[in-house]
């Protein structure tokens, strides 16, 4: 018996049993299976989509309102092989009622599923293959996990170098706690915390990220060598997009419902994956309108930021659904409260939950892992990646 998780595993197994290279090329895309949801399909377009999907040998799931002709727009779920999607796309390009737009969205989504990711930084291109580890450096007195440990400049700098030795590919410096129910700090105080550390890190040999939603803090950090803005507000602060563009920085656009001080007051979603997908689409368009290049955009679903336990678990399970847009995904699960609630563990006993979550996130498409415990996560991710590529 044999079960291929990835198409490259199928190709390797076909080669192993003696299938010709020509045969492998013909058959591989028939073993690549996708499930794709499209929203806001016009009713008449949905009926055509269903007909063309069936003609291609695949399926298109539609709600009852399309049969009863009682809705103007509808979601649709398509599932089939890569080859079947290719046939469907070619047919839909010639159809009315948004057919060409649907075809374009499907073609883009399929093309992005196995995309190799890289981000453009002022210093050059940073490949994200197979993944990158972002080490957390909180220079705060009150962060939920390590507040106060590194709020002296010498201790922070020592920890940054230690994390690089342990396997960190990026260092993320933050001067304001975003733990649930935390109060914001002033711009002046945040600058006072982060700038001395950044100035001492200018010679470090990995990219520096600044964890802030304040444009002035981002600007001063970028002047001192940071090249990534990790923005929990997702470019919603006035002027932040302009700062990112002006300094040619990369940006992490994170989803958060509410603000840190109120985000965990009864958060609720009817469909957490769909809602965050819509948020990402809107924010990416905003970034592009403000001159931020696609190769500078990273998306973060915001694990623990205005989410229930079940929302966090569903997001990790469903990360692959965010790959359609073609942007790399960052996850920050490290020591988060959902782990504590599932395991009944305090913040100092969440390491195993963290590394398991990150290993699963890797298999589901995440590219950047923001962590406190660099060495342990580096080891877990290396093992997970070696297992993933065992057939290749």
The DSSP annotation for 197-246 comes to HHHHTTT-SS-EEEE-S-HHHHHHHHHTT--EEEETTTT-STTHHHHHHH
Contacts of residue 204, Cβ cutoff 8 Å, sequence gap at least 6: 160, 161, 164, 171
Dihedral sign computed on CA atoms, order 349, 352, 357, 358: positive
pLDDT of residue 202: 86
**Per-residue pLDDT tens for 311-370?**
999 999 999 999 999 999 999 999 999 999 999 999 999 999 999 999 999 999 999 999
Q: pTM (2 decimals)?
A: 0.93
pLDDT of residue 78: 98
119 close to 244: Cβ distance less than 8 angstroms: no
Query: Considering the domain 32-112, what is its CATH architecture?
Result: 2-Layer Sandwich (3.30)
pLDDT of residue 246: 98
263 close to 302: Cβ distance less than 8 angstroms: no
> Which residue among 179, 336, 350, 367 is the active-site one?
336
According to DSSP, the residues that pair with 36 across neighbouring strands are 78
Q: Which residues of the chain have pLDDT under 50?
A: none
1 close to 384: Cβ distance less than 8 angstroms: no
**Pair of tokens at residue 107:** 């073609």
pLDDT of residue 392: 52
Torsion (CA) 96, 97, 103, 104 in degrees, nearest 10:
110
**Per-residue pLDDT tens for 270-297?**
999 999 999 999 999 999 999 999 999 9
Percent of the chain exceeding pLDDT 90 equals 84
Q: Give Rg (Cα) of the chain.
A: 22
79 close to 33: Cβ distance less than 8 angstroms: yes
Contacts of residue 174, Cβ cutoff 8 Å, sequence gap at least 6: 136, 137, 138, 139, 140, 143, 194, 210, 211, 212, 230
Contacts of residue 127, Cβ cutoff 8 Å, sequence gap at least 6: 116, 117, 118
Task: For residue 8, indicate whether it is catalytic.
Answer: no
Q: Say if residue 130 is preceded by a cis peptide, omega within 30 of 0.
A: yes
What's the CATH number for 118-388? 3.20.20.20
Domain ranges of the chain: 32-112, 118-388
pLDDT of residue 183: 84
- Dist CA 153 CA 160 (whole Å): 11
pLDDT of residue 3: 66
Q: How far is CA 142 from CA 8, 65, 154, 168, 335, in A?
A: 46, 51, 18, 23, 15
**Pair of tokens at residue 205:** 């040999």
> Which residue among 179, 257, 296, 370 is the active-site one?
370
According to DSSP, the residues that pair with 77 across neighbouring strands are 37, 61
Task: For residue 179, indicate whether it is catalytic.
Answer: no
């Amino acid at each position: 018996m044999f079960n291929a998780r990835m198409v490259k595993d199928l190709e390797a197994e076909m080669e192993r049993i003696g299938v010709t290279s020509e045969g492998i090329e013909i058959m591989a895309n028939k073993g690549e299976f996708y499930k794709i949801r499209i929203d806001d399909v016009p009713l008449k377009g949905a009926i055509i989509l269903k007909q063309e999907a069936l003609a291609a040998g695949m399926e298109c799931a539609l709600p009852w309102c399309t049969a009863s002709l009682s809705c103007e727009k509808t979601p649709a779920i398509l599932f089939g092989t890569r080859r079947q999607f290719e046939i469907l796309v070619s047919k839909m390009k010639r159809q009315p009622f948004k057919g060409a737009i649907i075809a374009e969205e499907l073609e883009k989504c399929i093309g992005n599923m196995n995309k190799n990711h890289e981000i453009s930084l002022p210093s050059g291109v940073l490949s994200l293959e197979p993944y990158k580890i972002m080490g957390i450096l909180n220079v705060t007195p009150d962060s939920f996990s390590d507040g106060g440990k590194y709020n002296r400049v010498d201790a922070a700098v020592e920890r940054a170098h230690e994390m690089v030795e342990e396997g960190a590919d990026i260092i993320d410096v933050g001067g304001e706690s975003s733990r649930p129910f935390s109060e914001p700090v002033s711009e002046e105080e945040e600058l006072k915390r982060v700038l001395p550390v950044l100035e001492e890190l200018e010679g470090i040999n990995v990219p520096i990220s600044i964890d802030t939603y304040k444009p002035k803090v981002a600007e001063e950090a970028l002047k001192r060598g940071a090249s990534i803005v990790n923005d929990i507000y997702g470019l919603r602060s006035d002027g932040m997009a302009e700062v990112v563009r002006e300094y040619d920085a990369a940006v992490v656009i994170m989803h958060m419902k509410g603000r840190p001080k109120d985000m965990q007051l009864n958060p609720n979603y009817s469909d957490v994956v769909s809602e965050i997908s819509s948020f990402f689409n809107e924010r990416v368009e905003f970034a592009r309108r403000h001159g931020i290049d696609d190769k500078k955009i990273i998306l973060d679903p915001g694990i623990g930021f205005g989410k229930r336990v079940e929302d966090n678990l569903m997001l990790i399970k469903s990360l692959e659904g965010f790959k359609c847009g073609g942007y790399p995904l960052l996850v920050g699960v490290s020591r988060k409260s959902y782990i504590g609630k599932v395991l009944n563990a305090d913040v100092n006993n969440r390491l195993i939950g963290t590394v398991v979550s990150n290993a699963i996130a890797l298999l589901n498409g995440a590219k950047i892992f923001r962590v406190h415990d660099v060495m342990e996560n580096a080891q877990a991710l290396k093992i997970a990646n070696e297992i993933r590529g065992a057939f290749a």
